[in-house]
C-alpha cells in the first residue's frame, strides 16, 4: 500500500474509531490524564487540560514541584510518582528529555501497555546522547514505540515552544497541532484532548511521519490547520 492510500485509510479509521472509543472518552470532562514530566511543556499542557475540565495527575522526579502545581490548580489536579500517574491516567502525556525514555520503558512498561500515550518528547543529541541520534535517523515516532512497547503512541506537542503551549485555549481552532499515529482509536482520543486545549489536530500520517514532528523541520512552530496540510503535502511529494 503506498503512503497516500495508507494515510487515507488511517484518517478514515480515526474518524470511525472516535465512535468506538470507551465511555470515558465520550465526555471530555471525565477523562483522567497522567502527565509524566511536569516541566515547562508538561505543566503548560496539563494546565490547559485542567481549564477544560479534565483531571490531571502531574509527576516527575521532583514530587514537591508536582504538589505545588497541583495545589495551585485546585481539585482536578493531583500529584504523584510517574508510576502513580501511569496507573491514574486513561491517557498519558510523556514530556521528558528523550534520553529518559529507555528507563521509563523499563520501569513503567507494564503500566503503559494498552494505554494511549501522547509522546511530546524531542531527541536532541547534545542533551540525550546516542538514543537521540537513533531517533533522528529512524524517526522519533517509530523509536518511541520501540522504547515503550505495547503503548498506543500518538506523537504530538513536539513543534511548538513551551512558552506558547498554553495559549491556544484562549483562541480555539486557529492554530493547528500536527499529530502522527498508527492506532486509529488512540489518534481519536488524542485529537479530542488536543482540541480541548484549543488546538485543531491535524493527522499528518502514521508514526513514520513522526520524524517531522520536532524542532528544525518544516512543521515546527505555529501554523494554521490548512498550512499544516500544505506543508505535509509537500513533504510527501519529496
Average pLDDT, the chain: 89
C-alpha cell at 75: 481539585
pLDDT at residue 226, rounded to an integer:
97
What pLDDT band is residue 29 in, cutting at 50, 70 and 90? low
Give residue 184's domain range.
3-237
C-alpha cell at 207: 508514526
pLDDT by residue (tens digit) across 90-114?
999 999 999 999 999 999 989 999 9
pLDDT by residue (tens digit) across 150-209?
999 999 999 888 888 888 888 888 999 999 999 999 999 999 999 999 999 999 999 999
39: left (phi over 0), alpha (psi -120 to 50) or beta: beta
Model confidence pTM above 0.95? no
Domain count, the chain: 1
pLDDT exceeds cutoff 60 at 13: no
Selection from 142, 100, 96 nearest residue 120 by Cα:
96
54: left (phi over 0), alpha (psi -120 to 50) or beta: beta
What is d(CA 40, CA 160) in angstroms, rounded to the nearest whole number? 12
Which contacts of 70-79 are long-range, i.e. CB under 8 A and separated by 24 or more positions?
A: 73/46, 73/47, 74/50, 76/50, 77/46, 77/50
The answer to whether 92 and 120 have CB atoms below 8 angstroms apart is no
pLDDT exceeds cutoff 70 at 22: no
pLDDT exceeds cutoff 50 at 21: no
What is d(CA 151, CA 207) in angstroms, rounded to the nearest whole number? 13
What is d(CA 101, CA 178) in angstroms, rounded to the nearest whole number? 22
pLDDT at residue 4, rounded to an integer:
52
Q: What share of the chain is helix, strand, coil (3-state, %, to 5)?
A: 55, 15, 30
The answer to whether 36 and 95 have CB atoms below 8 angstroms apart is yes
What pLDDT band is residue 82 in, cutting at 50, 70 and 90? very high
Element (DSSP H or E) covering residue 142: helix 140-147
Whichever domain contains 116, its CATH number is 3.40.50.720
pLDDT exceeds cutoff 60 at 238: yes
Strand locations in 85-222 (E): 91-94, 116-119, 152-155, 176-181, 200-205
Amino acid at each position: 500500500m503506498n503512503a497516500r492510500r495508507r494515510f487515507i485509510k488511517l484518517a478514515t479509521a480515526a474518524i470511525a474509531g472516535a465512535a468506538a472509543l470507551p465511555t470515558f472518552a465520550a465526555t471530555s470532562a471525565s477523562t483522567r490524564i497522567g502527565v509524566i514530566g511536569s516541566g515547562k511543556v508538561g505543566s503548560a499542557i496539563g494546565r490547559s487540560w485542567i481549564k477544560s475540565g479534565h483531571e490531571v495527575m502531574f509527576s516527575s522526579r521532583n514530587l514537591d514541584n508536582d504538589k505545588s502545581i497541583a495545589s495551585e490548580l485546585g481539585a482536578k489536579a493531583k500529584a504523584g510518582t510517574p508510576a502513580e500517574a501511569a496507573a491514574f491516567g486513561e491517557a498519558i502525556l510523556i514530556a521528558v528529555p528523550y534520553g529518559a525514555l529507555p528507563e521509563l520503558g523499563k520501569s513503567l512498561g507494564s503500566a503503559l501497555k494498552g494505554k494511549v500515550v501522547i509522546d511530546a518528547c524531542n531527541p536532541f543529541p547534545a542533551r540525550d546522547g546516542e538514543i537521540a541520534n537513533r531517533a533522528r535517523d529512524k524517526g522519533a515516532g517509530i523509536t518511541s514505540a520501540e522504547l515503550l512497547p505495547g503503548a498506543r503512541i500518538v506523537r504530538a506537542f513536539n513543534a511548538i515552544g513551551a512558552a506558547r503551549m498554553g495559549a491556544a485555549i484562549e483562541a480555539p481552532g486557529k492554530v493547528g497541532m500536527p499529530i502522527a499515529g498508527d492506532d486509529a482509536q488512540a489518534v481519536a482520543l488524542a485529537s479530542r484532548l488536543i482540541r480541548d486545549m484549543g488546538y485543531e489536530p491535524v493527522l499528518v500520517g502514521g508514526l513514520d511521519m513522526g520524524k517531522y514532528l520536532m524542532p528544525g523541520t518544516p512543521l515546527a512552530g505555529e501554523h494554521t490547520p490548512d498550512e499544516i496540510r500544505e506543508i505535509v503535502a509537500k513533504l510527501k511529494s519529496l
